[in-house]
Amino acid sequence: MRIVAGSRKGHRITAPKGVVTRPTADRVREAVFSIVGSVEDAAVLDLFAGSGAMGLEALSRGARSCVFVERDRAACRVIEANLEKVGLTGATVVCRDVASALRDETARRRRFDLVLADPPYEEWDRHQPTLRDQLPGLLSEHALVVVETSERVEPELPLDLVTTRRYGSARMTVFAT
């Protein structure tokens, strides 16, 4: 796996070992950021971060900051190692479940310009209510939310649908405030 564009273009990053984490493929990340456009100076929230590939891509492309949220401790260590390896700054790794992390970010009154959410495919139904209820309060005025699901799932959030596209077994859906 590698960073596709930006200041760290071509740098290799690693994914946690095992089958729990499903990193977003390079070509899919490239397609998503083509849809999203410039992330220069954006505050990014990478939920269910796994290897951190999406948030690392955003930082490489000029995002001001990225909060990586991942509950698996081994995956958190991989994100931290990837950040150190490629020398990106402005990152915070939060090793906890998404629901409690979202509550904490809400309490801090943080606002994000871009949210990247890639829950385990088989757990979308369990996480969707949390995202539906908590994400809108964390979004800046012109924020985008990118949700990765199984190709069979068409996610719904109380936001404006921008586009939904299939890439193999994945569906990328982009919402806007």
- What is the distance between the alpha carbons of residues 97 and 71, in angstroms, rounded to a whole number? 5
What is the pTM for the complete model shown? Answer: 0.93
- pLDDT tier at 11 (50, 70, 90 boundaries)? confident
Structural domains of the chain sorted by starting position, each given as residue range(s) with its CATH number in brackets: 26-153+169-176 (3.40.50.150)
CA 106, 130, 135: angle at the middle one, nearest 5?
45
What helix, strand, coil percent values describe the chain, rounded to 5? 35, 30, 40
Q: Which phi and psi angles does 110 have, rounded to 5°? A: -75, 150
Q: Which residues on neighbouring strands pair with residue 149, listed in sequence order?
A: 171
- Cα–Cα distance between 120 and 124 in angstroms, integer? 7
Q: Are 37 and 176 in contact (CB under 8 A)?
A: no
Q: State how far the Cα of 160 lies from the Cα of 167, in Å rounded to an integer.
A: 21
Residue 36 has pLDDT above 50, yes or no: yes
Q: What Rg do the C-alpha atoms of the chain give, in angstroms?
A: 14
pLDDT tens per residue, range 110-169: 999 999 999 999 999 999 999 999 999 999 999 999 999 999 999 999 999 999 999 999
CB atoms within 10 A of CB 66: 30
Over the stretch 45-92, which tens digit does the pLDDT of each residue have? 999 999 999 999 999 999 999 999 999 999 999 999 999 999 998 999
pLDDT at 26 over 80: no
Give the pLDDT band of residue 19 (cuts 50, 70, 90).
very low
- Residues β-bridged to residue 146: 116, 174
State how far the Cα of 96 lies from the Cα of 100, in Å rounded to an integer: 7
